Structure 1
Amino acid sequence: MKTKIMKTNFKFLAIILSLGLFLQSCSSDDDNTPVSSAPVITDFEYGEGSSHSTEFFAYKGSDIHLEASIYAEGVVSSITLSIHAHDLTLGDNEVDWDYENVYTDADYLVINPTFHEHVDVPTNIPSGEYHVELTVVDELGNSTEIEGHIQILDPITLSDIDIDATAKRGEDIHAEFFVTAVSGIHTISVDIHAHDLEVGVGEVEWDYEAEYQDEFHDLTEAEFHKHIDVPATAPVGEYHVLFTIEDENGNIEEYETHIDITA
């Protein structure tokens, strides 16, 4: 009788032990199941492209350099970059810029890729602050986003503008301003003309055009200071004045005004 009880207890203990080993095995299997966390984005930098600047600005007509290190336990499935602005005022011939690109290059669809791209900045967009977003998604659907802001600047700017509003024929027009051109000045040109002015006796239609290159060529900063002679025979009336500054990359900045020529 005693032997029978011992056998029964032994079988019971064996069952408990087997169950324990089974549960431990299942727990061990669970522990070995890889758990993928969301990607981590570090060293996110961006700025003016030609110099690989890390300062947060770039110029219209140039490009933006962007770079980031990505740590991802799971293989990356996509990297999305978006650049857009909020409530910038559009100037003449300007359009909104809303950039988005999904990168699925083979170099990026790996574990721990390095993101490095250059994005062209249109010439016909408003200058101002733009929002930059970089989003990384892995094959398990985990995603991470990092964001910042960049200033988009004009490649050519004019300041301290002082141009006569009136001038007498037979005298001169004073025109003065300061030019900053990041890529260097190529030319500065002036165009003065009138529309449908009546040409009186002894008067001759006046249309003035001049291009200044040698004294300003390749300078990144310059003061334009000229006196333009008005013929004594120019018809009296309103004239349209257009200054055009072109840089070495072909970017153009125009400034226009009007002047009254008097007797």
Structure 2
Amino acid sequence: MTLTLTVSDEVRALVPGFTHLAIEARGLVNGPSDATSAALLDEAAARLAARLDGRTPDQDPHVAAWRAAYTAFGAKPSRTRNSAEALARRALADGGLPRINRLVDAYNAISVAHLVPVGGEDLNRIEGGMRLVRATGEEDFVTVAGGEETVEHPEPGEIVWCDERGATCRRWNWRQGPRTRIDDDTTDALFLLESLAPMTRGELLAAGEELAEALLKVSPGARITVRDPG
């Protein structure tokens, strides 16, 4: 069954021009980071450095657009950075990009190389469809604090991704909850690439095609479907 993805009118009104690209991958085989996924991350970091050419990530026009979007719904973009900016800062730091597992490494590499937020969700842990909405503040967001599972709630008006059970990612693409994240047991996954102007549709599609190729590198034999909402 194909997962339904919807973007609420409230979000579209607040941030006109938002678009996304979804990639479904089935029959995946995940596991610890290896030489292939590490090479993807190293190449992405080099491409990022060349793209920025001495600038900081927040000076990139696409990252700047995300900062403005965060400000529009009341978030502080220097405190809660979108996922692409946060990864870019790590890529440029001494420690470099973290190695998580092969699938997460693959989508993190694309995020850094293209400076586009990319999220990954385990399809078998999503309940119902996924919606991008402005939160009421009553949605459950299951997370871990101090080693213990706890339930938080987004702030009213905060933009969140959610399914029928609750929020899956807070502050748009800032923090994903552990309930639906990709781990070593994941076999079917959804990857979501999100963009704003000035990133063009063609640039977003190119990033998506590269992600599909990267997924096949780290998990040969996977069945990949690119869903372009147009």
TM range (shorter): under 0.3
Q: Which has the larger radius of gyration?
A: 1
Q: TM-score, normalised by structure 2?
A: 0.25
